[in-house]
Structure 1
């Protein structure tokens, strides 16, 4: 009998139930350091007896969120491997309270607070009205609960009939990564309102299709029920819901970085490729677009730039160009706040192997030449709402740098 199983027998079973809004009162985030094998065993053990709202293991370090009733089980497991734990966050509910109390500028959409999906969609609708001559609402698909995957197309008039290349931006595929829709709407605002020649040139040179939240059901759920929810909200089993929509695309589906357990809180890949209506309808929409030059996905919060393919250390045909373009993008971003990103590289090289993601499917299926995933900044999926503009300005300059270099290399 394993020592971890003895811990399970001796100590009370930890479980999580909630009917209304999950408060995360006294939930702690711990850091533990050791070899990845031991850390993975601890995480697997804990996952076997409860839902872990958040965890990651890489580079011989683990971070994990622990419910108060699981503290004793967790401490015993850590002690069994002679590891040390450090508290990073003492009470996650305090972080949530900061997010909820953020300042909103009357009824006007702002970047000092986080908005639910209806607020984001109202902003897109308003912008399509204010700038009706060169913006248009576009529907990229639908959700399990019947919401639209709503985006904004920006296409300023030109003096020629030349069809512009499309820059396609996706964010919010993981529901709890709130900074990504906020940053994406900030970038939309920059494209529409800035008088900076570098930004207006960027806007006018391409057609932009930007989708701030492509998992609207899950995102709404993080605002109304469970802040740490990551997946969709489909019914995946008798008692469980959702699949990870960035493990559900039909590229090497189910190979790496996934769970086959429908109740897994984070990485259940779905019953089959495109089992989720969000990924299925969204991929159909993308497939019907001609002339896509670039596909950009925004996630948080690893602070790195990733290139295809996420489950391999083998490199794509224009890998060297992607690295050069990506480095220029990061250099532009670093000049804003002095923040340095890791990469560019594949996720398999600097993060972890993961299959079934949108970026890899787009690259493989559509042969889109410029494809990246930006992992924005933050800790435990939190970024202070009063500082959204910092990442917004960084991302704006990253986009300027990315397409300046891409054009220099002949992609435009």
Structure 2
């Protein structure tokens, strides 16, 4: 619980700098450090660093051989750097002033939907409603309500009977604004693009889109705390600062739930997976919606996240267990990666998430594969590799949309070649 206590202290220090009319928590002169962890000893020491220095980990802490980003306030810059040098941990300051970066990726003109700035939930949902009203091949539903009573909306695009379906999921993690921006970009391409290939894909396949799985958390990132990850249900635990809120909903699915993951059992931490699986109304609504379709209809489930530029395949709970059709899934993911890189050079690494990163249990893609038997599922981690991370500037939204559109085209075509839609 010490991690949670010191994290909240860090957030409280940021919030103390709030000004009227602005988001409550501010991060003026907070730095983001990127640490290269080479050894198990360095990893163990990093996991203990919160005992003396207030830090906010932006990544799950897993195995050595990876880079990890941490946020540190101005009072602790010198102490952190001294500690890192003592531990011989190579580091780089990749962001000097986090608040400046947050301002650069904040909501711009929110009067109507476009993909050059980030938008609020109301603007995203208004756009969804207008598109649904304008096209008779779109079926739009409210698949459930969030804990705070907000709609969780779905859009099904179907122009022809007998099609198989592709499912796109967005913003299960509140702070990952590029997720819903990309999912709505893809949906807009399927509806309004004049590109013959996109028109063909919209004719030959059904598309089911849930652009906002976590509306409460998303609104909270806009109004209170930009760094919020979970949903907003009080989870029944508390610490010295008060009640703890939220569950990491991508740790709450009932497939090898609770088996692995950084701090998934810390109720006040970002990655808390709940006291048992399927505790969150948003997740149950999503699962019920997926289960409402006949078996074999949905052939691909893709969850969009930030960041790191990965196509993460099942499984997440293990680095030694792989799906029966893992080689086929890698070929499909490779097609995505190659096509996406052709646009702007963004390289996407692909493979089982437990192998590429570290074991993490209870994710949507693993549930979709392991429980619903959908033959191709993945988590697409969008731009970038850490320079901006969760705070990707809005001037990159369209570029991300274009490279992911190219990757999606190639992925679907390769999946068809592999017989996935037969």
Common fold: TM-score over 0.5 = yes
**DSSP 3-state at the match of 1:333:** helix
**DSSP 3-state at the match of 1:280:** helix
CA displacement, residues 343-401 of structure 1 (integer Å, 9 cap, x when unaligned): 1x011111221100010011111111111111111232122212211111111111111
Corresponding position of 2:84: 78
Q: Is the 8 A contact 1:16 1:51 kept in 2?
A: no
How far apart are 1:61 and its partner, in Å? 3.2
Quick check: 1:305 aligned with 2:300?
no
Aligned residues: CA RMSD:
2.1
Please, which of 406, 409, 412 is the counterpart of residue 418 of structure 2?
409
Q: Which runs of 5+ in 1 are unaligned?
A: 6-12
Quick check: 1:151 aligned with 2:160?
no
CA distance in 2, matches of 1:252, 1:307: 15
Q: Which runs of 5+ in 2 are unaligned?
A: 3-7, 17-22
CA distance in 1, matches of 2:336, 2:91: 37
Quick check: 1:292 aligned with 2:298?
yes
Q: Per the alignment, do residues 280 and 340 of structure 1 end up closer, same or farther by CA in structure 2, a change over 3 Å counting?
A: same
State the TM-score, normalizing by the size of structure 2. 0.88
Quick check: 1:274 aligned with 2:255?
no
State the TM-score, normalizing by the size of structure 1. 0.90
Alignment of 1:207-286 (within 5 A): 207-236=206-235, 237-238=237-238, 239-259=243-263, 260-264=265-269, 266-286=270-290
Please, which of 28, 44, 58 is the counterpart of residue 31 of structure 2?
28
Q: Is the 8 A contact 1:247 1:258 kept in 2?
A: no
Q: Per the alignment, do residues 108 and 369 of structure 1 end up closer, same or farther by CA in structure 2, a change over 3 Å counting?
A: same
Corresponding position of 1:9: none
Q: Per the alignment, do residues 339 and 61 of structure 1 end up closer, same or farther by CA in structure 2, a change over 3 Å counting?
A: closer
**DSSP 3-state at the match of 1:246:** helix
Q: Is the 8 A contact 2:55 2:71 kept in 1?
A: no
Q: Per the alignment, do residues 270 and 36 of structure 1 end up closer, same or farther by CA in structure 2, a change over 3 Å counting?
A: farther
CA distance in 2, matches of 1:59, 1:332: 27
Q: Is the 8 A contact 2:60 2:261 kept in 1?
A: no
Corresponding position of 1:361: 367
CA distance in 2, matches of 1:113, 1:257: 33
Alignment of 1:6-405 (within 5 A): 15-17=10-12, 18=15, 21-48=24-51, 50=54, 52=56, 54-57=58-61, 58-100=64-106, 102=108, 104=109, 107-131=111-135, 133-156=136-159, 158=160, 162-236=161-235, 237-238=237-238, 239-259=243-263, 260-264=265-269, 266-290=270-294, 291-313=297-319, 314-343=321-350, 345-378=351-384, 379-405=388-414
Q: Is the 8 A contact 1:39 1:61 kept in 2?
A: no
**DSSP 3-state at the match of 2:250:** coil
CA distance in 2, matches of 1:51, 1:241: 19
How far apart are 1:410 and its partner, in Å? 1.6
**DSSP 3-state at the match of 1:70:** helix
Q: Which is worse superposed, 241-250 or 29-38?
A: 29-38
How far apart are 1:72 and its partner, in Å? 4.3
How far apart are 1:14 and its partner, in Å? 5.9
How far apart are 1:327 and its partner, in Å? 1.0
Q: Which is worse superposed, 47-56 or 203-212?
A: 47-56
CA distance in 2, matches of 1:179, 1:59: 26
**DSSP 3-state at the match of 1:392:** helix
State how many pairs are aligned.
Answer: 392
